[in-house]
Chain A
Amino acid sequence: MNPRFKMQLIRFAVVRRRKRLAEWFRKSALPSISDRSRRFGVLVAVLLICLASAAPASPAELVVSAAASLSNAFKEIGAEFERARSGTNVIFNFAASDILVKQIVEGAPVDLFASADQESMDKAAKENAIDQATRRNFVANRLVFAVPRDSRLSFASLADLRRKELKRIAVGQPATVPAGRYAKAALDQARLWDVLRDKFIYTQNVRQSLDYLARGEVDGGFVYATDAAIVKDKVKIAFDVSTPQPVLYPIAVTKQSKDAKLANEFLQLLGSEVGRRILQKYGFGNP
């Protein structure tokens, strides 16, 4: 066969195939995709319905809003609670105490509220959000000034914080974070709050201060002794801060709790030997 003619034939075939492909795309691509996606949508819907109906009939649920510093200890106590009362589900919500108060006042479905200072619990009480009869202080903690593990700076007292090498201090936003309020009260007493103002990095909760310390982004910060103990490999305590008010954590059942009995059982577990042991393990003291 003439090679030139052969080339012509091949080219012809290629062009025809291209045309057919284009035609096929134009005709079939759109409807076939939408068909497929519709079928896929139906499949997903069926699956979702199956999943939803397969879930067990709603188990007893306890929602606990607790100060950020309690997270590790409470998670363990929650697991213990779920183990002791099979079928119950404990849901935790950790944040700065005042943010939790705000959520509860705005109607968040919370059964138990544990905060890190009296002021936030007083706020909740003033808004008539908690059952005053159930309110009690359940643990004590200490406020400390901590520095990153590899820090070469050493401090012995609040007055040392004025030193120039110390540039950034993490402190909880006093308006919403109890750890920040304790720190502010101590610094106010020492007449240092306004002096140090330019060094402060305000955080959303005490665990954010801890995270900045662990990353070495700040030179020092105010956290609880229990927080510093969690990341011992990255953060060390420089000195204990003596606060005008002792660091006591109150807890109370909320007014809107749908299952106050279950909430009270959780309170009992906190006071029991098992509960105390877990709290002590994380460094919390008796009130």
Chain B
Amino acid sequence: MSDALVPLLLTLKVAVTATLIVVFFGVGWAYVFSRCRFWGSHLLDAVFTLPMVMPPTVLGYYLLVVFGRRGWIGDWLEQTLGIRLIFTWQGAVVASATVAFPLVFKAARAALEGVDHHLESAARVLGGSELAVFFRVTLPLAWRGILAGTMLAFARAMGEFGATLMIAGSIPGRTQTISIAIYEAVQAGQDGMANFLVLLTSAVCISVLVASGRLLQRSF
């Protein structure tokens, strides 16, 4: 029982952290994309969407090469900040966030582009600063779509397996998330443990979906 709780709590920690990061950056970039056209925006858009279509192992390999001890960013992180991402739960967060990013980005972009520009212009005419316009007009009108994307991102982050296994490994209690624990249990022939973890994951996912469905309904 407690054997199952450790990976579950770790998974929730990783998924929540990853989702928060992804919402911040995803909505930010979506806002930039919905407001301005700049040189290379199509290319950047493709790059941002890439994690959605690439196999997680390819992504894991990229992350390993970039954030590894001998990678460009990994080397810099270790030299200047003393941080190592490989084999830590923060590494799992990086993997989950990368995989979940396009889900928020795409949904938020569609939602922000759907906001009536006249309403924003009206707010500006009435003297609202850009920040006020964003938080008091744009965001309230787009939040439904953003929330839908966030829920998908959270679910995706919870289920992340391939990239996480490659950069965070499978260390019980530290980086062994629930999907990796299930994989290990099945491989080791511990079917009882695997069954319990699978049921637990299903229950958590269904709860998240039901809760978000209710949340969305109540607002309209």
Interface residues of A (CB under 8 A from B): 96, 98-99, 102, 168, 173, 175-176, 200-204, 215-217
Contact = CB atoms under 8 A, between A and B. Distances in A.
B136 interface: no
A177 B150 CA distance: 38
Contacts of B69: 215-217
Contacts of A99: 187
A201 B64 CA distance: 15
B184 A175 contact: yes
Interface in B175-206: 184, 187-189
B101 interface: no
A202 B174 CA distance: 12
A98 B188 contact: yes
Contacts of B145: none
The winner among B64, B87, B169, B184 for most chain A CB atoms within 10 A is B169
- Where chain B touches its partner, the secondary structure class is loop
A176 B185 CA distance: 10
Given A99-B187, A102-B187, A200 B171 contact: yes
Contacts of B87: 168, 201, 217
B64 to A, nearest CB: 7
B68 interface: yes
A155 to B, nearest CB: 19
A215 B68 contact: yes
A266 to B, nearest CB: 27
B86 interface: yes
A175 B169 contact: no
Given A201-B169, A203-B169, A217 B86 contact: yes
Contact of B171 (A96, A202, A204): A202
Contacts of B189: 102
B188 A176 contact: yes
Contacts of A215: 64, 68-70
Given A96-B187, A215-B64, 15 more contacts: A175-B187, A176-B184, A200-B171, A201-B169, A202-B170, A203-B169, A204-B165, A204-B170, A215-B70, A216-B68, A216-B69, A217-B64, A217-B68, A217-B69, A217-B86
B187 A201 contact: no
A99 B183 CA distance: 11
Nearest to B65: A215
A216 B70 contact: yes
Given A200-B171, A201-B169, A202-B170, A176 B86 contact: no
Closest 4 CB pairs of A and B: A175-B188, A176-B187, A216-B69, A217-B86
Contacts of B86: 217
A176 B189 CA distance: 9
Contacts of B187: 96, 98-99, 102, 173, 175-176
A200 B189 CA distance: 22
Contacts of A201: 87, 169, 171
Contacts of B64: 215, 217
Contacts of A168: 87
Contacts of A102: 187, 189
B108 to A, nearest CB: 29
24 contacts: A96-B187, A98-B187, A98-B188, A99-B187, A102-B189, A173-B170, A173-B184, A173-B188, A175-B188, A176-B184, A176-B188, A201-B87, A202-B169, A202-B172, A203-B169, A204-B170, A215-B64, A215-B68, A215-B70, A216-B68, A216-B69, A217-B64, A217-B68, A217-B86
Contacts of B170: 173, 202-204
A173 B169 CA distance: 11
Contacts of A173: 170, 184, 187-188
B107 to A, nearest CB: 26
A180 to B, nearest CB: 11
Contacts of B172: 202
A96 to B, nearest CB: 8
